[in-house]
Chain A
């Protein structure tokens, strides 16, 4: 009996690698909080077929890569908290990603020769004082064609890696366009301009 159950289950550890982003980094210092529920996230489905997919490590690698590339400075943080003001390189933004939902569509369900994966994230953004700025619900999609003699595990790995690459696209291109983040960036730019003008005029306040 256990042998039969094992035969009908699929276990995947997502193993994708993600390239460096070709983008101009934002001139801020970001703190990335990857909590345990994110770094060790495992999706389990017990519909007609048992599927266990460990994607925590791979998605952590992606978020780490992306936030290193889209900001001038990146630090890894344990929690969201007010940063010490004495810090010479204070953190401007704190980002905490969470997995909201994962969905799979396998050939036995759709009768298509394709594996599909959807991942929905909630990316929470806080300012350097730990006050919330934005909650961004972001979804990513990936699929693969089944190949002759390719295992279900390899196909699911490929579809999930493709979904994570897509999540990277949304983060790299979309992060600075979230209305609340755009507004925050505009405020920072105004603040910097004001500081520059005051420095020129010699006003110490």
Chain B
């Protein structure tokens, strides 16, 4: 919306010097916004058990051809979940190397049934036990640019260089995390996050970016909710959860909207 307003200004204003000033005012007045919607489903209200020496691993899905869940995003969630050492989170790459080749994209289990089958192999089961991997969190999704508009160009001459123009782009992050309990071989819950945001680049001599932190907001949203599965949730973000429901009746129990 803001982008199209600025593009309109760009095409109609006869005196280009006014354009950046007005655009800058619009951007500063409204800011680079992101909106995040989080859906969460927990099978139980109580925190998930994690005994001494047990740990959680967060894994990205990479089996689809058209996208892959970014390793940086997985590391970001891991960092949030670790919460300064309160939870032990095994780094994804370390887990992949320890269990090579069983969790590589070609053969990684997509469903719990296949995971249970894999755990019948004593070599895999023994490694899971020795490393104390109790919960596996699979994260599927990605961040992509959904729309782009505007242009800006840069030029360099003997007397110096500079850029002029305005560009904007929208990004959307959609991720779903599923928590598997490897001891009881069942699913403990899901968190789905959708974050959208618009970024702007204004160039009047030097380019001035206004970047919406779409992926990091998605990481914060999903990381905080997952933390709530294992640890006491901070009072300001605590939301009630529903009573356990069978799989056939699975409904998302609450919807929170965070604006930043």
Contacting residues, chain A, for B106 (C-beta < 8 A): 166, 169-170
Contact B100 A20, beta carbon cutoff 8 Å? yes
Which parts of B76-129 form the interface with A (CB within 8 Å)? 96-102, 104-107, 123-124, 127
Contacting residues, chain B, for A198 (C-beta < 8 A): none
**Closest chain B residue, CB of each to CB of A65:** B100
* B126-148 interface bits toward A, Cβ cutoff 8 Å, 1 = contact, 0 = none: 01000000000000000000000
What's the least CB distance linking B124 to chain A, in Å?
7
Contact B98 A19, beta carbon cutoff 8 Å? yes
What DSSP secondary structure best describes chain A's contact surface? mixed
Contacting residues, chain B, for A128 (C-beta < 8 A): none
* A150-172 interface bits toward B, Cβ cutoff 8 Å, 1 = contact, 0 = none: 00000000000000011011101
**Closest chain A residue, CB of each to CB of B106:** A169
Q: Which of A19, A24, A169, A172 contacts B97 (CB 8 A)?
A: A19
Separation of A173 and B101 alpha carbons in the complex (Å):
8
Q: Which of B68, B100, B124 contacts A19 (CB 8 A)?
A: B100
Flag whether A143 is at the interface (Cβ < 8 A): yes
Separation of A20 and B99 alpha carbons in the complex (Å):
9
**Closest chain A residue, CB of each to CB of B97:** A19
What's the least CB distance linking A110 to chain B, in Å?
11
Q: Which of B68, B104, B107 contacts A145 (CB 8 A)?
A: B68
Flag whether B176 is at the interface (Cβ < 8 A): no
Contact B68 A169, beta carbon cutoff 8 Å? no
Flag whether B70 is at the interface (Cβ < 8 A): yes
What's the least CB distance linking A161 to chain B, in Å?
12
What's the least CB distance linking A141 to chain B, in Å?
8
What's the least CB distance linking A154 to chain B, in Å?
14
Binding site for B on A (CB under 8 A): 18-24, 143, 145, 165-166, 168-170, 172-173
Instruction: Please name 20 further chain A to chain B contacts, defined as beta carbons within 8 Å, in addition to the given A22-B124, A145-B68, sorted by A numbering.
Output: A18-B100, A19-B96, A19-B100, A20-B100, A21-B100, A22-B100, A22-B101, A22-B123, A22-B127, A24-B123, A143-B68, A145-B70, A165-B101, A165-B104, A166-B105, A168-B100, A169-B106, A169-B107, A172-B100, A173-B101
Binding site for A on B (CB under 8 A): 68, 70, 96-102, 104-107, 123-124, 127
Q: What are 25 sample pairs from A and B whose C-beta atoms fall under 8 A apart?
A: A18-B100, A19-B96, A19-B97, A19-B98, A19-B100, A20-B100, A21-B101, A22-B98, A22-B100, A22-B101, A22-B124, A22-B127, A23-B123, A24-B123, A143-B68, A165-B100, A166-B104, A166-B105, A168-B100, A169-B104, A169-B107, A170-B106, A172-B100, A172-B101, A173-B101
